[in-house]
């Protein structure tokens, strides 16, 4: 573990007697076998895919219904015990770490697709349904859910972190694709944030407030999502550029013409090398765009030809088409496994994943400067980006036991965040804040916005029981872990 980053002063945990009373009530509610307190179970639920130190909860429960979830929250609220929602554990900023202990509420048994309306192009699911399980359910119906963060996250987790991914340039993020949420509030009541109507101006947009709130304002148990008709035709292409700036300029040109490209992913030369090695491909080791087009056959053809022409204007070296569906899927599998590909570059290493997002006009500058910084710092770190959104990821490959290397990576990450903010961007495009980036929030937003966010948190969760220490640093209960 990255001990260099661990807590210097332990945040206040729940007193033992309160915790025991809560666990007794939970056992009465769910039965002994559904309140897990084994070390493995607890450790697993306090650990995500990030490089941040995990923190095990005191117990793990797995509700089977919204009502059961509400009862769990009421028990925890009565005893003042923190509640940490858990989906698939794929978050990247320490979102599931139980910094003050408490109860991890694992939603994976709530995995039912409750209703699908192809007519209304919406679907209602329980929070524990995973992205791939939903995809399998929707495919035969001729519709799909477009938000694709790569990992097989739960939909509840994706809403909680405000996830996005490769298709957001065309279809939007979770914020644009969640119609309505069922949420358990801090007082253990169940609310539905809005109706299924496509549009509403009936009061504050609580839906968008819970999306991206990382479990700090309420616990999401059900979601109604917009779905899209499966495109009649899909086509993919790969295109290498002499320099990063050419690739970004090509994307800007595509966006300015309003060509509705479904995916535009940028991989830098280090990442392309990793993908080639991992997936046994032989693409040029150069800044490369992976592209995908959706639409009617004629429209896909037209889009691709237009993009090929724009790419040529920006010095593209070839424009390789995925010949068929198998090749298209292979291409995106390679892109989606870029994380594993990175790990394979340095066996035994762990990846320290971070992301940032800037206005696209500043993207070249931000990535070029970041690459220079990585190389000067002597780190191994591929870059991959959802370039149409101005969003990019850096995976730093580390020996977690090498304290000096970890310290270099931490310092690099801080410079990356400051660089993105200075260029008019954000410290996180899609990974969220968790506790890994909580300390950067005031730098990005200023003290008054932070004050509004804290007021909002206090209004919704006055006891600070919902995922304490996330988004905001742990101040009320002692110094935070960073």
Q: Does 445 bind a second copy (CB under 8 A)?
A: yes
Residue 278 or 472 with smaller CB distance to a second copy:
472
Which one of 10, 191, 309, 407 is in contact with a second copy (CB under 8 A)?
191
Q: Rounded to an integer, what distance in angstroms lies between the CA atom of residue 208 and that of residue 460? A: 15
Q: Which is nearer to a second copy, 178 or 342 (CB)?
A: 178
Among 80, 242, 245, 260, binds a second copy (CB under 8 A): 260
Are 268 and 371 in contact by the 8 Å Cβ rule? The answer is yes
The neighbour count for residue 308, using CB atoms within 10 Å, is 17
Q: Is 11 helix (H, G, I), strand (E, B) or coil?
A: coil
Does 175 engage in binding with a second copy (CB under 8 A)?
yes
Stretch that binds a second copy, among 2-10, 69-77, 294-302, 370-378 (CB under 8 A): 294-302
**Beta carbons of 150 and 336 less than 8 angstroms apart:** yes
Task: Pick out residues in 99-118 that bind a second copy (CB under 8 A).
Answer: 117-118
8 A C-beta contact, residue 265 and residue 387? yes
Residue 220 pairs with which residues in a beta bridge? 183
Pairing of strands 350-357, 391-398: antiparallel
Which region among 9-17, 100-108, 120-128, 283-291 touches a second copy (by CB under 8 A)?
Answer: 120-128
Q: Cβ–Cβ contacts within 10 Å for residue 255, how many?
A: 16
Which of 43, 78, 198, 333 binds a second copy (CB under 8 A)? It is 198
Structure tokens at 242: 């002499």
Among 100, 283, 335, 431, which residue interacts with a second copy (rule: CB under 8 A)? 431
Order of strands, edge to edge, in the sheet holding 178-184? Answer: 113-117, 122-126, 219-226, 178-184, 190-192
Q: Decide if residue 67 touches a second copy (CB under 8 A).
A: no
Question: Please, what is the minimum distance in Å from the beta carbon of residue 77 to a second copy?
Answer: 14
Question: Is 95 or 335 the residue whose CB approaches a second copy more closely?
Answer: 95
Query: CB 230 → a second copy: shortest distance, Å?
Result: 8
Site string for a second copy, 331-360 (x = CB under 8 A): --------------------------xxxx
Distance of CA 423 to the CA centre of its chain: 22
**Given 9, 10, 411, 455, the residue binding a second copy (CB under 8 A):** 455
By CB under 8 A, tell whether 149 contacts a second copy.
Answer: no
Q: What 3-state DSSP class applies to 402?
A: coil
């Amino acid at each position: 573990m990255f001990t260099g980053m661990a807590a210097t002063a332990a945040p206040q945990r729940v007193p033992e007697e309160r915790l025991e009373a809560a666990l007794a009530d939970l056992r009465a509610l769910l039965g002994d076998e559904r309140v897990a307190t084994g070390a493995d179970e607890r450790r697993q639920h306090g650990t995500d895919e990030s490089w941040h130190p995990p923190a095990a909860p005191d117990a793990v429960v797995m509700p089977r219904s919204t009502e059961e979830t509400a009862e769990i929250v009421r028990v925890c609220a009565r005893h003042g015990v923190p509640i940490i929602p858990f989906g698939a554990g794929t978050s990247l900023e320490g979102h599931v770490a139980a910094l003050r202990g408490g109860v991890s509420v694992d939603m994976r048994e709530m995995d039912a697709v409750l209703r699908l309306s192809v007519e209304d192009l919406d679907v209602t699911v329980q929070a524990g349904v995973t992205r791939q399980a939903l995809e399998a359910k929707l495919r035969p119906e001729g519709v799909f859910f477009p938000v694709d963060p790569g990992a097989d996250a739960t939909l509840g987790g994706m809403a909680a972190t405000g996830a996005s991914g490769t298709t957001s340039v065309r279809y939007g993020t979770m914020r644009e694709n969640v119609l309505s949420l069922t949420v358990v509030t801090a007082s253990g009541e169940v609310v539905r944030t809005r109706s299924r109507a496509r549009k509403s101006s009936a009061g504050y947009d609580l839906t968008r407030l819970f999306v991206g709130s990382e479990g700090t304002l309420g616990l999401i148990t059900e979601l109604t999502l917009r779905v899209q008709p499966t495109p009649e035709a899909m086509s993919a292409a790969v295109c290498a550029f002499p320099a990063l700036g050419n690739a970004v300029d090509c994307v800007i040109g595509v966006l300015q013409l309003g060509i509705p490209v479904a995916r535009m992913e940028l991989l830098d030369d280090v990442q392309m090398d990793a993908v080639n090695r991992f997936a046994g491909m032989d693409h040029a080791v150069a800044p490369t765009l992976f592209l995908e087009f959706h639409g009617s056959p004629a429209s896909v053809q037209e889009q691709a030809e237009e993009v090929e022409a724009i790419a040529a204007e920006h010095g593209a070296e070839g424009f390789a088409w995925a010949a068929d569906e198998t090749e298209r899927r292979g291409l995106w599998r390679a892109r989606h496994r870029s994380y594993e590909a990175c790990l394979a570059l340095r066996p035994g290493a762990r990846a320290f994943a971070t992301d940032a997002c800037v206005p696209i006009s500043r993207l070249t500058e931000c990535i070029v400067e970041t690459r220079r910084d990585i190389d000067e710092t002597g780190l191994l770190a591929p870059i991959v980006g959802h370039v149409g959104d101005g969003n990019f990821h850096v995976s730093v490959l580390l020996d977690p036991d090498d304290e000096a290397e970890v310290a270099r990576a931490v310092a690099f990450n801080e410079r990356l965040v400051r660089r993105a903010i200075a260029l008019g961007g954000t410290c996180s495009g899609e990974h969220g804040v968790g506790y890994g980036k909580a300390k950067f929030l005031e730098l990005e937003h200023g003290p008054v916005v932070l004050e509004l966010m804290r007021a909002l948190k206090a209004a919704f969760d006055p006891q600070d029981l919902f995922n304490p220490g996330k988004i905001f640093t742990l101040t009320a209960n002692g110094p935070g872990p960073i």
